[in-house]
Amino acid sequence: MHYYTGFFIDEPLGNNIFSYSKRKVKKIYIPPLKQGTVEDVKISDNIAFCEIEDEKEIKANGLDCFIEYNLENKKIYIFDNHNHAFYFWVKSLKQNHFNKGCKLVHIDQHKDMREPEEYIQSIESLKEVFEYTNYKLNVGNFIKPALNLGIFSDVLIIDSLASFKLDINDEFVLDIDLDIFSKDMDYIDYDFKMNKIKQLIKKSNVITIATSPFFIDQTYAIKILREIFS
């Protein structure tokens, strides 16, 4: 069963919970998933994330479609808000694309290690995983549920120059947030980050990639995405 078919969330749930009562925009869009490549990643006319910051309502457009990209023996999922990674990790695990209990390598400007309000107890039902991902999780709290379920034994967070220099040899799922290329992270050399990410992609069979519309310009994020796979 395919659950990502394109829909709106108009209640204060998931990523729509942030500043909900203060916002004029009351709904966010979750696009459909389709097969494709990085060339099929495009910006949507719909808002994927909305938040009040410094008393200003910031409306961030997300992606037109989420992309399932089959590259040689690799499964690559590309989406906008980062919490969707949880669903695609579970889907990939169920399809035996990685071994349960391997490591997660999380490349991100943010650690995303907040506690969710509740933990899902089982991943037997992919429908329940989908609902949990979209209505309970948000961009900051999707990793701990995966650790709690033993999907991953540990997470290595790469958010600094020192962590980018670490060698990783065990099996891992690679999780990339393109906001690692935001202006705040310019103190780490662009080419160094790009080359390291390309090296890690070669070592992983499952890669999840968030374009993070609230944290990085999406035109720039898509440009980076295409360079990663060029």
For the record, the structure tokens of 140 come out as: 């900051």
Amino acid 28: pLDDT: 98
User: Which amino acid would we find at residue 101?
Assistant: G
Report the predicted TM-score, pTM, of the whole model to 2 decimal places.
0.97
Residue 217 neighbours by CB under 8 Å, 6+ apart: none
Among 106, 145, 104, CA closest to 123: 145
Residue 138 neighbours by CB under 8 Å, 6+ apart: 14, 15, 17, 18, 81, 83
Sign of the Cα pseudo-torsion (24, 26, 32, 38, in order): positive
Segment 157-163 long-range contacts (CB within 8 Å, at least 24 positions apart)? 157/106, 157/108, 157/111, 157/113, 158/105, 158/106, 158/107, 158/108, 159/107, 159/108, 159/109, 159/110, 159/111, 160/188, 161/187, 161/188
Burial class (CB in 10 A: 0-12, 13-18, 19+), 169: exposed
Domains of the chain: 65-228 (3.40.50)
pLDDT tens track of the chain, all 230 residues? 689 999 999 999 999 999 999 999 999 999 999 999 999 999 999 999 999 999 999 999 999 999 999 999 999 999 999 999 999 999 999 999 999 999 999 999 999 999 999 999 999 999 999 999 999 999 999 999 999 999 999 999 999 999 999 999 899 999 999 999 999 999 999 999 999 999 999 999 999 999 999 999 999 999 999 999 99
Amino acid 186: pLDDT: 96
Rounded to a whole number of angstroms, the distance between the first and last alpha carbons of the chain is: 32
Instruction: Give, in order, the Cα–Cα distances in Å from 163 to each of 90, 128, 152, 193.
Output: 26, 34, 19, 11
Amino acid 68: pLDDT: 98
List, in sequence order, every beta strand (DSSP E) within the chain: 5-9, 28-35, 43-53, 56-63, 66-71, 74-79, 102-107, 152-158, 172-177, 206-210
Amino acid 2: pLDDT: 83
Amino acid 61: pLDDT: 98
Could you give the strand order of the β-sheet that contains 74-79, starting from the edge strand earlier in sequence? 5-9, 28-35, 66-71, 74-79, 206-210, 172-177, 102-107, 152-158
Sign of the Cα pseudo-torsion (168, 174, 176, 181, in order): positive
